[in-house]
Amino acid sequence: MTGYNEICSLCQGNGYIKLRVNTENQIKQCWVCESKGEKHYTQAEVDDFIYKTYYKKGIKNKRRKYGNNRT
C-alpha cells in the first residue's frame, strides 16, 4: 500500500500523552494516531490535501489580487 507517514503532532511519536486531571498526572494512549506514534496518509489523501491547500488557495489569492472580472 502506497502512502506517507507523519509523526503524530499530539504525542510526538511516543504513542501516549500526559494529562493533568484535577491535581493528578495521568498517562493516556494517544487517540490521534491510535498509539502508533505515526499518522498514515494514503496517496489520495495527500493529493486532496495538496489540491485544497495550494491549488484552491492560489485561485482565491489571484482573484483577490487581480480582481474577478468574470461574469
Residues 13-66: tens digit of each pLDDT: 999 999 998 889 999 999 989 889 888 889 888 888 888 888 876 655 555 555
Residues 2-16: tens digit of each pLDDT: 678 889 989 999 999
Q: How much is the pLDDT for 28?
A: 92
Instruction: State the DSSP string of the chain.
Output: --EEEEE-TTTTTSSEEEEEETTEEEEEE-TTTTTSSEEEEEHHHHHHHHIIIIIHHHHHHHHHHH-----
